[in-house]
Every structure is written in C-alpha cells, then in structure tokens.
Structure 1
Amino acid sequence: MVSISHLLVVLISTSLFLFFLHKWRRSHSPPSRKRLPPSPPKLPLIGNLHQLGSSPHRSLQSLSRRYGPLMLLHFGKVPALIASSTEAACEIMKNQDLIFANRPQLSIPGRLFYNNRDVAFAQYGEYWRQIRSVCVLHLLSNKRVQSYRRVREEETSLMVEKIRKLGASSKAVNLTDVLTSMTNDVICRVALGKKFGLGSAFKETFAEFGVLLGVVPLWEYIPWLSWTRKFDGVDESIARVAKAFDEFLEAVIKEHRVRERREGDGGDLDFVDILLDFQRDNASRSPVEDDTIKAIVLDMFAAGTDTTFTALEWAVTELIRNPSTIKTLQNEVREVVGSKDEIEEQDLVKMPYLKAVLKESLRLHTPIPLLVPRELTQDTKVLGYDVASGTRVMINVWAISQDPSMWEKPEEFLPERFLETSIDFRGMHFELIPFGAGRRGCPGVTFAMAVDELALAKLVHKFDFGLPNGTKMEELDVNESNGLTIHRKSPLLVVATPSAC
C-alpha cells in the first residue's frame, strides 16, 4: 500500500509542477487583447477558494478593497465575477440585466427544488418568465398581500401573548425561537391554508434544508474530487430532506384537491388553492404542474420564513444594543397607537422611524449578503472590463451597504440616516439592495416587510427588553452564522418586561 505521506508528497509535487508550468506558459504566451477585471493570485486546481474563508461576504469585501469593486476570481474551474460597488451592481442588475438574468446550475438547489422548477433558482427562459408572472400577479400582488392582513395581525398578537407567558414563567425568552415560529405560522396559513403541528423532527429538517441551500460542495468547483461524494454525506442529506418535504407537500396538495372549496371573492384562498385554480383553468398550456406547486411553496418557506425572521432578529438585536434608539422607536409607536390595545396595519404608515429602523437593520445585516448567484449568457463589458459568457456573478450587497463612500459612519446603527432621504430597498437605489434588483429581484419584498413592520411595532409597543444574567447591552453577542442566509450565531435570549402602556 502507498503511505499517506508518500501520497501527499506526490500531490504537492504535482501541484508545484502545474503551478510553475502555468506561470511559464503565461510568460511565453502572446499578450491578450482582452482587458480582464483585476484578479488576486490563485493556486493551481483550487484557484481562489482558499480566500473565501468562513464569512465569504467579509472576505470578498476585504479583497475588493485591495483589487477594486469588480474582481475576477476562480473557484476551482468556475470563473466568478465579484461586484462590490453601486456602479457595478447597477450595470449588472439594470443596464445589462437581461444578459445577467440567468442562474448557474447548482446541484443542491436543483435537487431540493424539483430540478429548479421554482422561481429563485430556475434558469432564465420562458418557463421562468411564466412562473414568475404567476407569482407576481396571483400570489404576491399588493392586493393579495393585503388580503392576508388578518393573518398577520392574528399571528403577531399570538407572538406577543407567547412572549408574555414565557417571560412570566422564566427569566429569559428565546426570541429567536418565537420569531421563527411566528413567521413559519404566517407562511403556513398563507401558503397552505392552516398551521401545521410541525414537531421537532420537521424543524430539524427545515433547518437542515436552510443549511444545504448555503452549501456548494467542493466537487462542484473541482470535478475530479467527485469521488468524495461517497464519503461527505451531502447526497444522503439532500435525499432525506427532499423526501421529507415531498411527502409533506404531496399530502397538502391531495388535501386541497378533495376538500370543499370556500366561497367568497378569493380573499381566503391560500397559495396552493390559487396555484391549483391556475392549473385547472389553464390545463392545456399551464406550466404549473404539481412539482411546480411544491417548488414554489418551498420558495415561500425558504424566503418567507428564513429571511423574514432573520431581519427581525437582527433589528431587535441592534435596538437592544442602542437603548436611545429603542426608546425613540417606542415613543413613536406608542404615540401613534395611543390608548388602543392593538396595533393595526393602517397605523404603520404613521411610523417613519419604524421603517427607518428596519432599513438600517437590513443595511447592516443583509440576510443574504451575496444574493443568489447569476450567470452571464454572453460576452460583455462591465465598467470597461471584458467578461466572458458562462462567468458566475456574485453581487456583494453587504459590502455595498458598508461602502464609506456611500454611507457616513457605515459600521454604526443610525436609523436617522433614512429619515431625510428617499433611499429604499425595493431595487431602485443600488446602494441598498438587500432583496436584489431587476428581473431577479425578490418578488416577495412587500409580503416580507408587511410581516416585519407589524411584528416589530408590536414588540416595542408591548415590551421593554433587557438581557439575562446581568449582561450589559454592549456585551451582546453579534457573531454571525455561516450559510446562504446570515443569522445570529447564537439564539437571541432576552428578558421581556411588559410595558406600562
């Protein structure tokens, strides 16, 4: 048998030989006429993968400060264009949005979303255009979002009661768990028509689903490492999670097909009802098959639950760390609400500071800091640089929102910065694009923010927040998790004291 040390010597020797051979060929090759974006030095075989680190958005920000706001990196065999400025983002997501509208074929989302039959990961083309149109016009229109107002008001009130009871029985409330349950219950009622008693096993499966979406296996970048699939357990995890969700969603669709339809103007219809109606009404030409319905519902859970509760969790975290800010917000909310016991959604339009707090939280803690990657469909120029078709494109929207040339004191939590500006997060202002922009912008922005605004208003209206065990505000842990969506690394534990209002 060949010893491990001997095998390592062979691998290192081969890598060094390939590295110097590559250098020699570059030094003896004719100069290219193309002007490529700046690139950090890369290693043989792995390229720049070693420079990503555990927090890619932060590592890429650091590299962009050295090499510029548009960089060309190589992740194994995959060339990747990294954009870290408003100008680059605008060029990609607005000026040349069409040729940057494709998605790369990612193995894990492809298997979890029924061969990419959802909206987020589907490749650009006729199918994606039809499905996105269905979602925008039938599921996530302003009228449809307003029709679920009662659901949001009921579930956020239940959240308040849950915190009140937990606070009375223990010193600390796991606010992360409470916010996760609330957003999950809203999505269940809106998408599936009712809340499901999702036990701990299902919660673990959903958590694993979120983790898997943030994984890009090494063998996807370096094909010759595909033999490691037999040992890394990724395929088994994907199969288990996909099977669990498929069985659950298959039962939901069957239940919707056999139950008696509700009367009315459609306001009580959930997403599955609407998609099944569309399927029946367009039987001969509908792209909405059962697997499409399942994939879209999974999209709603992945985006509607994960990013929505994450935005709330970070907003409360920053408010606790900034006592004067939370006091200003409480004063605004309590002044608008007055003697009423419950906040209604119509009250929110009179709360500009509330909206500013959420904008500032999204700026500092972008839920998906690199968005979902895009893929270029033809050769083009970006900011004077040549970029080849097939290049993967990653937009570091977190780095953009931290750019000191665009933001004064970018590392500080200052909601006041949004009170005298029209900057918004809906894809028109490229210095703040937590939901993306252009064709591939998130269609669920209105839905997500309707939940977040109402929930945050009720939290600060009903409670004063502190930290357990005498922890000082400035000692609150703000370390980030890894993955596609950036959560707090540890749950947010708070002492929630009912306010006197």
Structure 2
Amino acid sequence: MDFLALILCASLVWVLVQALRFLEKKASTSPSNLPPGPPPLPVIGNLLELGNLPHKSLAKLALTYGPIIKLRLGFITTIVISSPSVAREILQAHDASFSNRMVPDTITAFKQDALGLPWAPISPLWRNLRRVCNLHIFTNKKLDSTQQLRLKKVEELLAHVKISAQVGDAVDIGEAAFRTTLNFLSNTIFSLDLADPSSVSAAEFKKIVSRITVEAGKPNIADYFPVLKKIDPQGSRRRMKMYFGQLLDMFEGLIRKRLQMRTPSDYARKDDVLDTLIDICEDTNEDMEIFQIKHLMLDLFVAGTDTTSNTLEWAMAELLHNPDKLSRAQTELDQVIGKGNLVDESNIARLPYLQAIVKETFRLHPTVPLLLPRKSGAELEIGGVTVPEGAQVFVNVWAIGRDGTLWEDPNAFMPERFLGSEMDVKGQSFELIPFGGGRRVCPGLPLALRMLHMMLGSLLNCFNWKHEGGIEPEDMNMDDKFGLTLQKDQPLRAVPTLV
C-alpha cells in the first residue's frame, strides 16, 4: 500500500471516529418531537436519498413523510419544507429566526459568504447592502429611468434573431436571453456592453456563471462533514475561487478605470450604478467601501443574468411544447399591440395572458428550486413539530409548485389557471415564491419581471417559432438538471421565421 493510500485510509478512519462521537453526542441532546423522515444510515445519514435531482427526490419523500421532514446529511440536520402554510411560518411568521444562511463551503471563496448580499449574515453590512440595492438600483424610479436602455437591448435581441430568421438558422434561446440581460445590466452598471467582440463575450461569461451556479449547487462532502472543510476533498472551493476570481478581477479593472476617469475636474458623469456606488463610498455619511462594490457586482451579475435567461428559456420551451398556448399568446399580443411590434413596459399590464405564462413558468420551473438554504437561529415549534437550533432549512418551491392538493393537473402547463387570480410572485402568495420571501426576498425581482415580459412578449410577437430539426412538440426534451439554479438539461434551439 503506497503512502497516499495510507493517508487516505487513516483520514477515513478518523472521519468515522469523529462521526460516531458526533452522532452519539447529537442523539443525547436532540429535542423530542422532531419532524418525521426516512431512517438515516450510519455516518452518511440520508445522503443517498438526495440522488442527482434533489428537488425531485425530496418532493417524493414529502409524499411519504409529510410537508415538513427531517434528514441527516452527514453531520448536518436538515429540515425540508414542502407546503405553503409551513413556508409562510418560516419566511414570514418566524422570519427573524430563519434569516441567516447555511453557507456552502464553496461560497466562502474570497469571503463571499461574508461580503455577498445573498449569503452574508443579517448585520449592519447586510442591511447597508440591501439599502443600497433598494434605494439606488431597484426602485421603480430608477428602473423607469432606464426603460429606454432596456428597449434598446431588446431591439438588439430582435435584430440578432431576425438575421437567423432570414437565413433559417436556429437560435440558442438561453444564450440570446443571457446576452441581452448581460448587456442591459452592464450598461446600467458600467455604461458599456460586456457581450462585445472587444470585451468578454456573452458565451464566455455565461460559461463562468453557469460553473458558479453548478459548483454552488452540487453535493459537496465538505458541507456534510465540516471536519473536511480544511482539505476541500473534492476541490470545489478551489474551483469556485478560480471562477469568482475571474469575475472579481474583471470588475476590479472596470472600477479602477472609472476611478481614474473621475480624477479630472471636468469628468463627465456617467450617472450609472458605478458612479452612484463610488459616490456612496466617497460620502463620509455613507458606510460602504470600494472593495465591497466588486463583491456586490458579483452578486448582481451572477443572480441577474443566469436566473432571467433560464426562466425565459423554460417559458419558450413550454410554449413550443404546447402550441395551443403559444397561439393564444400571439393572438393576445396581436390584438393588444399589433403583430410585429416590440413589447414595451407600458404594454405589460394590458397583457394578462403573457403575465400568466410567466407565472406558470415560475410555478413549474422555479429558478432556485430549493431556494437558498436558511439556518435555524433557535429551537422553534413549526407546523406542530420541533425545528432544532442550527438546522439547515430548505423550502422546496419546486415541490410546492407541483403539489396536486394545491394545483389542478399540477404537471400540465396551463397559464389559464392564473387568469383572474390575484396570486403573484412577489413573496406574499406562498404557493408561488420563486424569489423567496421575508427580508431575504430577492431584491432584483422588479427588474427581472420587467425584462422577462419584454423579452418573451417581443420574441413571440415578432417571430413564429419551431423546434430545431423539426422535432414535434410532444417529442421535446423537457428534462432539467440540478444546480443552484434549475436549467434545461438540453439547451433550447429554435428556428424563427418573420411574422
């Protein structure tokens, strides 16, 4: 046996000993009346129950054990919520006790767990970052002021699709949506296109973002056995450090360039988000540092591009999979704004079926199927059972969206179910919470909804669509693959024709 194998065996024995000691101590201190769940195996607990698609595996377990279940994932006690009433208790009634995160080891790269808005603990830093987003980036006034920029980027999307339509080429829907969203964000924040031949291409940027979401979402043994975090046995944190580093270096370069531009007294302000954030840093009454800007940029670009493009891709896939729904959407667009016209934000309120399509897409394909994990800050009675202090808590919004007791024909794509309904996706209707709820609700929600309706409506109103290769609607692959965000297993490629 070589030296490396000896080291590996010794490490395994040590982990087993530590695990047995931990479990013995845990059993003696665990509260009574814990939620039901499958019996755990020695040491590894219920890890094998997760499978390759945890959102689906956990939904099946909920059918057996109920809407609130307990799993032991290695050393980590995990509670999974699969009903809107219990989700309301966690995200609203006891929001203060569940506001902090159970942070994956990968997110600790470059201290993103402490500096990033989605992961940072509730603290003065987190409150300041949230206030900056709410006051300077995502207010209705700010978003109204950038309407023309969004129109311009959607027009560029349509021009790109038109070229494909003229030559009969297929369009990668997810990549086209990603490029549009990326360039809108980069113009709003930096006053430039990042998806530009002279800069980082959209495909390269998308690849990095996709790797970040996959790395953050896939099972990592260091998360289940914290004693292994120092050695990072799967190399997950090392890879994430590389991906984070690529984006942080790019953002730092753009920030430094802007700081140099601002030095002359005759500097012509861009009045974009970056200028605003630098002003905040230079204002002694504000509490923000320059280095925090690049970490906020990382959050905005990773969360804002991947989630929006994935949702638009799923919406287009469902419409191609259900031609009658596609036809109804195009009829509404033709009657309200006229065939071939771009959808602007003033049209959205007059397009109830388009709004229903977006809601139905969020129901079937929530962007973050388990939301980001919460951490129980105290031992609490939830749903008639005890959630122990320190437990990891997932809300399975994918399972809630497919619950047959809540939804008629839950696996069918039926936007009609939302017509005349007051239910929305803004964190108050707990049957439909793709953006989460409570104080941790996604701050970018208002922008995401504007972009989704504009892009989807314009693509449907300006082009007819068919699946590449003449694949019939009923033969389309509608499988997903699990990560931090829910992506199509096979990217959607569709052929446009001019209307």
TM-score of the aligned structures, taking structure 1 as reference length: 0.90
Aligned to 2:347: 347
For the pair 1:222 / 2:220, whether they are aligned, the reply is no
Match of 1:326 in 2: 326
Quickly say closer, same or farther: Cα 1:119–1:411, change in 2 above 3 A: same
Which residue pairs with 2:42 in the alignment? 44
Deviations 1:78-127 (A, max 9, x none): 11111100111000001111111111233222225644312111111222
Structure 1 pair 68–341 and aligned structure 2 pair: CA distance change class (3 A)? closer
Q: Which residue of 2 aligns with 1:151?
A: 149
Which SS does the other structure have where 1:116 is aligned?
helix
2:22–2:75 Cα contact (<8 Å) kept: no
SS at match of 1:354: helix
Aligned residue number for residue 418 of structure 1: 418
Q: Which residue of 2 aligns with 1:57?
A: 55
Relative to structure 1, is the Cα distance of residues 64 and 261 closer, same or farther in structure 2, using a 3 angstrom cutoff? farther
**Equivalence for 2:431:** 431
Query: In structure 2, what residue type is equivalent to 1:241?
Result: Y
Contact 1:18 1:44 in 2 (8 A): no
Say if 2:105 and 2:237, in contact at 8 Å, map to a contact too. Answer: no
Question: What is the alpha-carbon root mean square deviation over aligned residues?
Answer: 3.2
Task: Tell me which residue corresponds to 2:115.
Answer: 117
Q: Secondary structure at the match of 1:79?
A: strand
Q: Secondary structure at the match of 2:71?
A: strand
SS state of the match for residue 464, structure 1? strand
Deviation at 1:359, TM superposition (A): 0.3
Aligned to 1:175: 173
> Could you list the per-position Cα deviations for residues 204-228 of structure 1 after superposition, in whole angstroms to 9, with x for gaps in the alignment?
3333223222235212211344576
Greater Cα shift, 134-143 or 108-117: 108-117
Q: State the one-letter code of the partner of 2:355.
A: K
Letter in 1 for 2:464: D
Question: Structure 1 residues 454, 291: closer, same or farther in 2, change over 3 A?
Answer: same
Residue 282 of structure 2 corresponds to 280
From 251, 254, 264, the counterpart of 1:252 = 254
Name which of structure 1's ranges 245-254 and 334-343 shifts more when overlaid on structure 2. Answer: 334-343
> In the alignment, what sits opposite 1:234?
236
One-letter amino acid of the counterpart of residue 249, structure 1: F
CA distance 1:120–1:227, shift in 2 (3 Å): closer
> Aligned equivalents of 1:421 and 1:387: distance in 2?
33
Contact 1:179 1:312 (8 Å CA) reproduced: yes
Determine if contact 1:117/1:291 at 8 Å carries over to the other structure: no
Do the aligned partners of 1:45 and 1:222 also contact (CA within 8 Å) in 2? Answer: no
Contact kept, 8 Å, 2:175 with 2:309, in 1: the verdict is: no
Matched residue SS, 1:367: coil
Q: Secondary structure at the match of 1:82?
A: strand
Deviation at 1:183, TM superposition (A): 1.3
Q: Map of 1:362-377 to 2, 5 A cutoff?
A: 362-377=362-377
**Distance apart, 1:260 and its partner CA:** 5.1
Instruction: Give the counterpart letter for 2:38 in structure 1.
Output: P
> Taking structure 2 as the reference length, what is the TM-score of the superposition?
0.90
Q: Taking structure 1 as reference, are residues 22 and 180 closer, same or farther at Cα in structure 2, changes over 3 Å only?
A: closer
Question: 1:191, 1:438 → 2: CA distance?
Answer: 27
Give distance in 2, aligned partners of 1:191 and 1:133: 17
Report the CA distance between 1:169 and its aligned residue.
Answer: 2.8
Deviation digits for residues 2-22 of structure 1, max 9, x if unmatched? 899999999999999999999
Structure 2 CA distance for aligned equivalents of residues 34 and 172 of structure 1: 58
For residues 254-308 of structure 1, what are the alpha-carbon distances to aligned partners after superposition, in whole Å with 9 as ceiling and x for unaligned? Answer: 122233599xxx9963222221111112xx4543212321111111111110110
Distance change (3 Å), C-alpha of 1:25 and 1:222: closer
Q: Could you list the per-position Cα deviations for residues 183-222 of structure 1 after superposition, in whole angstroms to 9, with x for gaps in the alignment? A: 1111111122211243655443333223222235212211
Give the C-alpha shift of residue 346 in structure 1.
0.9
| Paired AA for residue 322 in structure 2 | N
SS in 1 for 2:79: strand
Give 1:64 deviation, angstroms. 0.7
- More deviation, 424-433/36-45: 36-45
Q: Is the 8 A contact 1:403 1:410 kept in 2?
A: yes
Structure 1 residues 322 and 7, CA gap change in structure 2 (3 angstroms):
same
For residue 409 of structure 1, report the CA deviation from its aligned partner.
Answer: 0.9
User: Any conservation in 1 of the 2:280–2:287 contact (CA below 8 Å)?
Assistant: no
Contact 1:191 1:300 in 2 (8 A): no
More displaced 10-residue stretch of structure 1: 56-65 or 44-53: 44-53
| Percent pairwise identity | 31
Amino acid corresponding to residue 158 of structure 2 in structure 1:
V
Compute the displacement of 1:160 (Å).
0.9
- Give the structure 2 partner of residue 293 of structure 1: 293
**Structure 1: distance between partners of 2:204 and 2:494:** 26
Q: Could you say which residue in structure 2 is the equivalent of 1:208?
A: 211
Distance in 1, matches of 2:16 and 2:260, equals 65
* Further displaced range: 367-376 or 252-261: 252-261
Instruction: Name the structure 2 match of 1:184.
Output: 182
Partner secondary structure for residue 326 of structure 1: helix
**Which residue does the alignment assign to 2:482?**
482
Task: Provide the rounded CA distance (Å) in 1 between the counterparts of 2:25 and 2:247.
Answer: 50
Shift of 1:146: 1.4
Q: Distance in 2 between matches of 1:378 and 1:23?
A: 20
CA distance in 2, matches of 1:253, 1:398: 38
Correspondence 1:440 to 2:443:
no
Q: CA deviation at 1:354?
A: 0.5
**Is the contact between residue 15 and residue 44 of structure 1 (CA under 8 Å) also seen in structure 2?**
no
**Is the 2:108–2:237 Cα contact (8 Å) retained in structure 1?**
no
Deviation at 1:235, TM superposition (A): 3.7
1:91 aligns with: 89
Partner residue, 2:197: none
In 1: Cα distance, 2:311 partner to 2:386 partner? 36
Which residue of the partner structure matches residue 400 of structure 2? 400
Cα distance change of structure 1 residues 438 and 17 upon mapping to structure 2, 3 Å threshold: closer
Structure 1 residues without counterparts, runs of 5 or longer: none
Q: Structure 1 364/30 Cα, relative in aligned 2: closer, same or farther at 3 Å?
A: closer
Distance 1:466 1:52 in 2: 36
User: Is residue 34–residue 386 contact of structure 2 (8 Å, CA) maintained in 1?
Assistant: yes
Note the C-alpha offset of 1:338. Answer: 2.6
- Structure 2: stretches of 5+ with no match in the other structure: 195-199
Q: Give the Cα separation in 2 of the matches to 1:22 and 1:104.
A: 19
Establish whether residue 243 from structure 1 lines up as the match of residue 245 from structure 2: yes
Output the amino acid matched with 1:468.
E
* Partner in structure 2 of residue 127 of structure 1: 125
Structure-to-structure mapping, 1:258-273, within 5 angstroms: 258-259=260-261, 269-273=271-275
